[in-house]
Structure 1
């Protein structure tokens, strides 16, 4: 897909650095008028190509951690299997793939008790599924909100970062504690639209604007919600997306995961309990870039003993957002499974 021009890409890059920045700041950083930025953003949203969502921390999006699931389908059945899996509650990402398996998905049920049924009954019993392999995510060293389109100058990044600083989490979320009703409702609004302002939250929830501001800043600074740009990588010039499951010697798992989290391709890097030790979900400009990653970058990491590659052919769902042909669904909720 090639529906974005250079100015659109610059705007996407600016939003990735400062998802909640006002139009005036985005315009200043990009050297255009605020009205121009507003029109471009409105067009991208109305064309269902881009949405700024709120990526919820695992502690509030479900019980426990996500699971990676690789599915082998009956011959010719991968697209229909993927569609059916996307309809299951708890599936956060579903993609038709080529390579090791036919469908890759990530699941994070709202309740830990639902995991057993989802992994042992619902997914294996889905018509067209021949087999399924699942692995528990233990930790994530890189999440999708950290990936950046490399288009901005250092000066532009600095200008945006300074103003976006209040929205940057200042530390890990606190220990388990019940959230208030107002916090939960505010999280819901920010998850659906990461650019929702305190004034808008005040009106929607019928609470004082100062209260809405304190709630919003508290949730952002505690890392319970992280605003992020949701857009298909192919629209940004990354024609290939791969899920690379690595087998790593036990003593090297942390070092390998940390190293991969800094790789330019990294959108989601996690350590797992299962056959794979580390899973790297990355985006690449073309086949040569993927080849360099597999034959050079991975080869230079001590401790990597083997890896399997699944190439994403079509994503039907990401972060609870359904999509088709690269466009986001008209209406969907937004949470994050990684």
Structure 2
């Protein structure tokens, strides 16, 4: 991998934007929209992914029909230890994102586990026992109003966007707007979704060979999970190439009866990448992409002007986004590798809960 960010052109950015809208579209379909030859687009994508400058990941983190238990975890570290603590958390399958940040914490992590008890085990027996960690503060996600995969480049024309999304501007709706029930993710679906974490454009044939399923079975399972929103794709470009290299987080307090309206307004701003309701000291968080650090004050001012009942309580800027959506990144935002997001593995192998279940008596240490 080159040490410097390489030059990319508008066709590369248009290709990434198209794949953000239609991650598994064929090269032939993309070529019709972008006005390029299919083999040319395939070569460009191979170059971008080979350099770690772009990628598509697939995440399917459900247990049955239940969404994962997700939390933002602020980690405080002893002096000199944030790099090693950050490295340990980056290598962890339960941590989807890791940032070295400004403000009153050293690291901000985004964690996904199957349930609350697993989160307890993960924080108590894993995170808080990493050498150098001196404290944590957690905010559980209670609602996701805007997910990271919604953030787009702005390279395509409205007509090209309509072609890829199937939207009809006369009726203002997509052909697939009707709500569908959430698809259950069976245990046997997990290997298939994990295989898409590093490359969500993998062919059905290669997925079938790896999983031992037939191609028709793989195609049917993918279709069911995609339609039921249990498998989501995200196409990303290295932050140093997007024109929006600064990652910032805004914590806020919003009246509970205004959360939905505030989320709609915040999600409608160009800079907003994520928007979630959370528990903890504050009930609202927004993740943003900015062109410069100086834009943070303008962005927060815009938020408070549009939302006079929202009180911004804290802001932070990422010094280094070390991991995002299970992808380990370098300082320029290029992908180094995929950390397999197997959230169903034991969150703290080798440890056991220190409080016995009600009515259970543990044997004395050293024997029965």
TM range, smaller chain: 0.7 to 0.9
Q: 1:171 aligns with which of 162, 170, 180?
A: 180
The alpha-carbon distance between structure 1 residues 60 and 50, as it changes in their structure 2 partners (threshold 3 A), is farther
User: Which aligned pairs between 1:102-121 and structure 2 lie closer than 5 A?
Assistant: 102-110=106-114, 112-121=116-125
Partner SS state of residue 276, structure 2: strand
CA drift at 1:248: 1.9
Higher share in helix: 1
Q: In the alignment, which residue of structure 2 is the partner of 1:333?
A: 340
CA distance in 1, matches of 2:67, 2:150: 23
Q: In the alignment, which residue of structure 1 is the partner of 2:95?
A: 91
The alpha-carbon distance between structure 1 residues 63 and 217, as it changes in their structure 2 partners (threshold 3 A), is closer
Partner SS state of residue 224, structure 1: coil
CA drift at 1:64: 4.1
CA distance in 1, matches of 2:20, 2:341: 17
Is the CA contact 1:94–1:316 (under 8 Å) kept in the aligned structure 2? yes
Please tell me the root mean square deviation across aligned C-alpha atoms, in Å: 2.8
CA drift at 1:162: 2.5
Q: For structure 1, which runs of at least 5 residues remain unmatched after alignment?
A: none
Q: How many residues get paired?
A: 332
Q: In the alignment, which residue of structure 2 is the partner of 1:33?
A: 37
The alpha-carbon distance between structure 1 residues 172 and 63, as it changes in their structure 2 partners (threshold 3 A), is closer
User: Which aligned pairs between 1:1-338 and structure 2 lie closer than 5 A?
Assistant: 2-3=5-6, 4-59=8-63, 64-110=68-114, 112-162=116-166, 171-174=180-183, 179=186, 181=188, 183-325=189-331, 326-334=333-341
Partner SS state of residue 107, structure 1: strand
CA drift at 1:154: 0.8
**Larger deviation: 216-225 or 248-257?**
248-257
CA drift at 1:173: 1.2
Is the CA contact 2:250–2:312 (under 8 Å) kept in the aligned structure 1? no
CA distance in 1, matches of 2:196, 2:178: 15
Q: In the alignment, which residue of structure 1 is the partner of 2:355?
A: none
CA distance in 2, matches of 1:113, 1:36: 49
- Deviation digits for residues 40-71 of structure 1 (CA, Å, limit 9, x no counterpart): 10011111222211122444699742111112
Is the CA contact 1:90–1:109 (under 8 Å) kept in the aligned structure 2? yes
Q: For structure 2, which runs of at least 5 residues remain unmatched after alignment?
A: 168-173, 344-368
CA distance in 2, matches of 1:215, 1:239: 36
CA distance in 1, matches of 2:50, 2:22: 21
CA drift at 1:76: 3.9
| TM-score under structure 1 length normalisation | 0.87
The alpha-carbon distance between structure 1 residues 82 and 299, as it changes in their structure 2 partners (threshold 3 A), is farther
CA drift at 1:234: 2.7
- Deviation digits for residues 194-251 of structure 1 (CA, Å, limit 9, x no counterpart): 2233333334334433333222211111111112213333321112110111122233
CA drift at 1:26: 1.7
Partner SS state of residue 72, structure 1: strand
CA distance in 2, matches of 1:172, 1:76: 49
